[in-house]
């Protein structure tokens, strides 16, 4: 390894450890500290899906890869495994301390064996009403392959045992966190609050799912697989860019494993058969962890209504030069405006687009789109502009990582409504955040521009710090 610098994959882990430090910072409100565990976990998932996956691919080129990178990918992968395992130990200690602190504040996270009669009734009812019909187990047989496991989902590896015959059966069950909340509030006394993981509600009801088998013991252990998510877009000119990308997205679902996490209490024979069927090799990062995975779900922890557990909500301050009910374009014509998110409302930008979409003098709107909010007001404003006869052109970047599919859908929606859509150029990645409004009044052409550091995305503008310059200055 070149001693003059640290490989970026290693220095990135130091950045993520900084996130972990916020989770143990006592000055941060308690639930916000749980959220930092979620952010750390979410960051690490993407790191493995992209950076570690790329390193693994490069390591296949042997000595050549060292020349490309300037350092040895195999040695770096080994170092990554050491650091991640060490950070995981730290992570678990912080989590245990936070649970204790939560309990001291009369908020308890229970498992399926700690329920009182009233909670048992609640969980039984919730399992039958909400959970049971969403569970589809896959029986693991020695001579069959596993189904294609969803990247980053969590699964329960189920162990069925019959004492008399020593017969064992194994199964896999996906925890439906995409459909149901991961945390469910249980009934309790007024001053005490109780929460249970969805995983444990499933453990509670396992007998109802596997009743057709003869067993004395049934138990379940969480596993999680992270796959290579880097896209391969082959340069075949005969295929359209969107078709290539769509094929790559299908391939991503079948990506090779780069990390495997499992509950350290899992029976060795069940662990062995799963690792064999997933082709987990010595180069893959394998982490023995605690009972629960996918801590990113803590970013959506239920609101407990206890004020001191949370950061005070940030209420954006309107820009002093923008007056509600007055033209924003006329203000920009007189002076440049700098918006600073999340301290200014993103609505100012939406209001400007809406104004442009109905202003009779506005001829065209041109904009780059990278990551969009789920229900995008920006898209609505652009569609409104087209309906009002404006000429609208968008550059939609299809390579916005993990938003590729959404961007293809947005692009199709815009095209269907008559917007000119330019998809990002193969071989280049469009990161610019630009918008240009052209207005012609009395034969005088005026250009109004928005130049930003963040995405034109109302959701992320509430979280990330970004600038947006609104200007008519030609320079």
Domain ranges of the chain: 8-309, 328-471
Of 71 and 253, which is predicted with more confidence? 71
- Closest Cα partner for 132 from 197, 196, 208, 74? 208
Of 247 and 421, which is predicted with more confidence? 421
Instruction: Name beta bridge partners: 169.
Output: 160
Correct CATH for 328-471 of 3.30.870.10, 3.90.1150.10, 3.90.226.10, 1.10.3720.10 = 3.30.870.10
Would you call 60 helix, strand, or coil by DSSP? coil
Tell me which residue has tokens 């052109």.
393
Under the banding of pLDDT at 50, 70 and 90, the label for residue 234 is very low
Would you state the structure tokens that stand for residue 193, as one six-digit string?
């609050």
Of 24 and 239, which is predicted with more confidence? 24
Q: Which helix (H) or strand (E) holds 394?
A: strand 391-396
- pTM of model > 0.85: no
Round to whole Å and give the CA distance between 245 and 235.
11
Of 254 and 71, which is predicted with more confidence? 71
Under the banding of pLDDT at 50, 70 and 90, the label for residue 399 is low
The domain covering 8-309 belongs, at the CATH homologous superfamily level, to Polyphosphate kinase middle domain (3.30.1840.10)
Regarding beta strands 257-263 and 217-227, do their DSSP bridges make them parallel or antiparallel, or are they unpaired?
antiparallel
Q: Which helix (H) or strand (E) holds 421?
A: strand 420-423
Burial of 419 (0-12, 13-18, 19+ CB in 10 A): buried
pLDDT value for 237: 43
Task: Please report the beta strands in 100-189, taking only residues with DSSP state E, as ranges in sequence order.
Answer: 107-110, 138-140, 154-162, 167-174, 183-186
For the stretch 105-156, pLDDT in tens is: 999 999 999 999 999 999 999 999 999 999 999 999 888 888 888 887 899 9
Would you call 300 helix, strand, or coil by DSSP? helix
CA distances from 449 to 177, 404, 441, 473 (A): 42, 26, 17, 8
Supply the mean pLDDT for the chain: 87
Alpha helices in 61-170 (DSSP H): 63-69, 73-104, 117-126
**Given a cut of 70, is residue 244 above it in pLDDT?**
no
For the stretch 149-180, pLDDT in tens is: 888 789 999 999 988 888 899 999 999 998 99
* Minimum mean pLDDT range among 17-26, 33-42, 102-111, 458-467: 458-467
Q: Which helix (H) or strand (E) holds 287?
A: strand 285-289
pLDDT value for 166: 83
CA distances from 291 to 96, 200, 224, 268, 316 (A): 12, 10, 11, 15, 40
- Check the CA dihedral 460-457-153-59 and report its sign: negative
- Check the CA dihedral 43-46-47-48 and report its sign: positive
What lies within 8 Å, CB to CB, of 234 at 6+ separation is 244
The residues assigned a catalytic role are: 431
**Given a cut of 90, is residue 369 above it in pLDDT?**
no
């Amino acid at each position: 390894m070149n001693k003059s610098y640290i490989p970026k994959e290693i220095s990135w882990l130091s950045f993520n450890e900084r996130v972990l430090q916020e989770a143990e910072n006592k000055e941060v409100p308690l639930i916000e500290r749980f959220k930092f565990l979620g952010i750390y976990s979410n960051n690490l998932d993407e790191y493995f899906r992209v950076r570690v996956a790329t390193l693994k691919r490069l390591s296949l080129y042997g000595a050549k890869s060292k020349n490309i990178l300037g350092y040895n990918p195999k040695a770096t992968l080994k170092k990554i495994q050491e650091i991640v395992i060490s950070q995981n130990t730290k992570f678990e200690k912080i989590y245990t301390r936070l649970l204790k602190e939560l309990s001291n504040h009369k908020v308890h996270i229970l498992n399926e064996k700690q329920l009182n009669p009233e909670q048992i009734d609640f969980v039984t009812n919730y399992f039958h009403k909400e959970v049971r019909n969403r569970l589809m187990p896959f029986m693991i047989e020695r001579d069959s392959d596993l189904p294609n496991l969803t990247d980053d989902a969590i699964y329960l590896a189920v162990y069925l045992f019959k004492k008399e015959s020593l017969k064992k059966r194994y199964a896999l069950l996906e925890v439906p966190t995409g459909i149901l909340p991961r945390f469910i509030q249980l009934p309790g006394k007024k001053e005490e609050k109780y929460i249970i993981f969805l995983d444990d509600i499933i453990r509670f009801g396992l007998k109802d799912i596997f009743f057709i088998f003869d067993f004395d013991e049934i138990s379940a252990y969480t596993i999680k697989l992270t796959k290579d998510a880097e896209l391969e877009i082959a340069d075949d000119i005969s295929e359209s860019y969107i078709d290539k990308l769509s094929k790559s997205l299908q391939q991503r679902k079948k990506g090779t494993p780069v990390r495997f996490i499992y509950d350290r209490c899992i029976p060795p024979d069940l662990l062995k058969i799963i690792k064999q069927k997933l082709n987990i090799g010595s180069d893959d990062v394998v982490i023995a962890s605690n009972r629960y995975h996918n801590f990113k779900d803590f970013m959506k922890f239920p609101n407990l209504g206890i004020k001191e557990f949370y950061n005070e909500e940030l209420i954006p301050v309107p820009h002093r030069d923008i007056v509600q009910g007055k033209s924003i374009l006329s203000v920009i014509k007189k002076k440049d405006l700098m918006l600073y998110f999340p301290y200014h409302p993103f609505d100012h930008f939406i209001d400007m687009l809406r104004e442009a979409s109905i202003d009779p003098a506005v001829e065209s709107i041109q904009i780059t789109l990278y990551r969009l909010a789920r229900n995008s007001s920006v898209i609505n404003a652009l569609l409104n502009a087209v309906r009002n006869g404006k000429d609208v052109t968008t550059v939609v970047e299809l390579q916005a990582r993990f938003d590729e599919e959404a961007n293809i859908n947005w692009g199709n929606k815009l095209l269907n409504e008559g917007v000119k859509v330019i998809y990002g150029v193969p071989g280049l990645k469009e990161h610019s955040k630009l918008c240009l409004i052209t207005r012609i009044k009395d034969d005088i052409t005026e250009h109004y521009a928005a130049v930003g550091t963040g995405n034109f995305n109302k959701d992320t503008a509430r979280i990330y710090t970004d600038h947006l310059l609104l200007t008519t200055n030609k320079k």
